[in-house]
């Protein structure tokens, strides 16, 4: 069944090529297609395009389909083009002519865009919870290891003393910033396109504000042309949010791969969390973090992929957009899994405490000596020159005592302030409002 089919059948080769993998990805959209249809039916009845009895019959059957989807008892028949065709077919089989009225005042264009918005909104909520959970864990590690010093690097050269508290805390704050990016993407997603039809509105007296309220959207896409233009743009912005989190994880993973290297030897993991070599019995490879790094780098490429796939398109709908699902949808599962695995691995981390006792790190304290001379009244540039000459001549003497006390330093991590900033962003998401709205649609 094809919603657009008339009297002449399209060749099977064309159908197979244009449908592609859409049925598989449409199964992920199934519950959202039902939710959108329930809201649409309620609106149609409110403006006189359905009778009360027709509305009740359609809502009852849609809720039945929703229950089947929730119980994993739902599939898309091979002769159906997509999820929209499948649900309309089921309604028509169950309700006859009443089922055929479901598509009144909407197009498959705004229907699929609505499904995407609802799906992406839910997936972003799942990602937010995963990111916040990992953030909280990193903060715990920051406090636990705040007294454990390690070399800080610039240009991959030993630079100044750092600490594991500072290191773990840095990635926690990075996630707090990433959440701001996700919040922005969520705002773009949380707009109702339903009623824009094929991109030019409808001659029916529909109530778009009503469906906006019923579906828990913050607002609607007012301009019907722009509602359709948001397809592709919405996916790209969401991908940029995913890429922000992925960048944080990729960099963390690279650090771990360096620090676990025996030439560094700063950290280690139990043998059961590493892999070995088929010919080198001594190997303990950090494969999990290498894969996290690679998965995340792939996600970082996603915004560019979507940009290139949608480049130079005029306004309106184009079938190019269909392929975006194949790239974007799996990225959510991949990123959530990477966050989970990073937490699982770091929960077993073993950190060395005496790293800076090694003489090869003595020059890390050169800045401390320069600063001490400045405190004693020596101009900074003269102090810098003296310490440099002492290092070159082998006369450098240092003290490992550190007095870093400013905000965000080794001695004052500001984890509580960072936690508050994360909580503030998290609290701004309207998750409860959305859940309540959608729950009301499926309850009798």
For the segment 198-230, what is each residue's pLDDT rounded down to a tens digit?
999 999 999 999 999 999 999 999 999 999 999
Contacts of 145 by beta carbon, 8 Å cutoff, 6+ apart: 163, 164, 165, 168, 351
Phi then psi dihedrals of residue 160, to 5 deg: -145, 165
Q: Are strands 219-220 and 267-268 parallel, antiparallel or unpaired?
A: unpaired
Q: What is the pLDDT of residue 25?
A: 83
The pair of structure tokens assigned to 326 is 């194949």
Note the pLDDT tens digit of each residue in 50-88: 999 999 999 999 999 999 999 999 999 988 888 999 999
Q: What is the pLDDT of residue 12?
A: 67
Average of per-residue pLDDT across 224-247: 96
pTM of the model: 0.92
Confidence of residue 10 (pLDDT cuts 50, 70, 90): low
CATH topology of domain 12-103: Fumarase C; Chain B, domain 1 (1.10.275)
Q: How far is CA 245 from the centre of its chain?
A: 7
* Domain assignments of the chain as residue spans, ordered by start: 12-103, 110-191+223-353, 360-393
Beta strands in 373-420 (DSSP E): none
Domain 110-191+223-353 has CATH 2.40.70.10: no
Q: Is 12-103's fold the same as 110-191+223-353's?
A: no
Instruction: Flag whether pLDDT at 3 surpasses 60.
Output: no
Instruction: Flag whether pLDDT at 412 surpasses 80.
Output: yes
Confidence of residue 319 (pLDDT cuts 50, 70, 90): confident
């Amino acid at each position: 069944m094809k919603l657009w089919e008339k009297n002449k059948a399209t060749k099977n080769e064309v159908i197979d090529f244009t449908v592609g993998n859409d049925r598989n990805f449409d199964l992920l959209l199934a519950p959202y297609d039902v939710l959108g249809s329930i809201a649409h039916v309620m609106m149609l009845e409110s403006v006189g395009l359905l009778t009360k009895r027709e509305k009740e019959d359609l809502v009852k059957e849609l809720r039945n389909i929703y229950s089947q989807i929730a119980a994993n008892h739902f599939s898309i028949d091979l002769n159906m083009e997509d999820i929209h065709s499948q649900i309309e077919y089921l309604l028509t089989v169950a309700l006859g002519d009443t089922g055929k009225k479901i598509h009144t005042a909407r197009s498959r264009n705004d229907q699929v865009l609505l499904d995407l918005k609802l799906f992406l909104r839910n997936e972003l909520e799942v990602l937010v919870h995963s990111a916040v959970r990992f953030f909280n864990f990193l903060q715990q590690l920051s406090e636990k290891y705040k007294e454990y010093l390690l070399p800080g690097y610039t240009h991959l050269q030993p630079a100044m003393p750092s600490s594991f508290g500072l290191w773990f805390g840095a990635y926690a704050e990075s996630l707090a910033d990433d959440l701001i990016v996700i919040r922005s993407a969520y705002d773009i997603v949380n707009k109702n396109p339903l009623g824009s039809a094929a991109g030019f509105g409808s001659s029916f007296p529909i109530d778009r504000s009503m469906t906006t309220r019923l579906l828990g959207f913050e607002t609607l896409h007012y301009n019907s042309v722009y509602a359709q233009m948001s397809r592709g743009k919405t996916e790209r912005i969401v991908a940029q949010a995913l890429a922000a989190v992925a960048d944080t994880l990729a960099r963390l993973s690279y650090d771990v791969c360096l620090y676990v290297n025996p030439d560094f030897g700063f950290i280690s993991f139990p043998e059961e969390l590493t892999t070995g070599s088929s010919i080198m019995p001594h190997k303990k490879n950090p494969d999990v973090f290498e894969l996290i790094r690679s998965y995340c780098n792939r996600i970082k490429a996603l915004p560019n992929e979507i940009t290139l796939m949608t480049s130079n398109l005029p306004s309106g709908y184009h079938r190019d957009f269909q392929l975006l699902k194949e790239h974007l949808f799996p990225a959510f599962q991949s990123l959530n899994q990477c966050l989970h695995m990073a937490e699982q691995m770091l929960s077993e981390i073993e950190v060395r405490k005496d790293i800076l006792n090694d003489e090869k790190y003595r020059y890390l304290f050169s800045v401390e000596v320069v600063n001490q001379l400045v405190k004693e009244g020596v101009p900074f540039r003269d102090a810098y020159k003296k310490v440099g000459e002492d290092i070159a001549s082998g006369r450098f003497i240092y003290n490992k005592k550190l007095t870093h006390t400013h905000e965000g330093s080794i001695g004052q991590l500001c984890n509580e302030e960072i936690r508050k900033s994360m909580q503030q962003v998290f609290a701004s998401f309207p998750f409860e409002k959305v859940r309540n709205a959608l729950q009301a649609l499926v309850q009798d």
